[in-house]
């Protein structure tokens, strides 16, 4: 499955209310991202600070939910995931041509977000 195939499959299960307009898809996507990343963080927090066993299977399922909401948000702004992923890789290659360094992270070029 390609990432764009995933996005098409994910859109089959989007809420009809959110599907009415792109703005609603965007809102559902970004709200869902906040909620699902919080669930992942809570599992990691409990593992690191409260002595819980890290349930990697549950983390993986929650990351799947993060992916679904990312696909939804992207659809809401009219982008496919492959384009977004490529934009990110292009930005990172320009910022860190020889790989990550703290110096390159701290001393970014003007306008480098």
- Can you give the residue ranges of every domain in the chain? 3-79, 80-113
- Rounded Cα–Cα distance for residues 85 and 90 (Å): 9
**Does an H or E element contain 92, and which?**
helix 81-95
Cα–Cα distance between 89 and 91 in angstroms, integer? 5
Closest to 74 (Cα-Cα) out of 17, 22, 16: 22
Average pLDDT score over residue span 41-63: 98
Contacts of 19 (CB under 8 A, 6+ apart): 25
Judged against a pLDDT cut of 80, whether residue 52 lies above it is answered with yes
Tokens of 21: 């307009």
User: Which of 51, 61, 67 is CA-nearest to residue 13?
Assistant: 67
User: What is the per-residue pLDDT for 22?
Assistant: 60
In the chain, the percentage of residues whose pLDDT exceeds 90 is 87
Q: What pLDDT is stored for residue 63 in this prediction?
A: 98
């Amino acid at each position: 499955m390609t990432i764009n195939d995933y996005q098409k499959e994910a859109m089959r299960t989007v809420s009809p209310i959110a599907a009415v307009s792109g703005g609603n898809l965007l809102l559902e996507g970004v709200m869902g991202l906040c909620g699902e990343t919080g669930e992942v963080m809570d599992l990691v927090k409990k593992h690191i600070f409260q002595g819980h066993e890290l349930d990697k299977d549950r983390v993986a399922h929650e990351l799947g939910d993060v992916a679904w909401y990312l696909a939804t948000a992207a659809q809401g702004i009219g982008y496919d995931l492959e384009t977004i992923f490529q934009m990110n890789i292009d930005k990172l290659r320009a910022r860190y041509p020889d790989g990550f360094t703290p110096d390159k992270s701290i001393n970014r070029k003007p306008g480098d977000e």
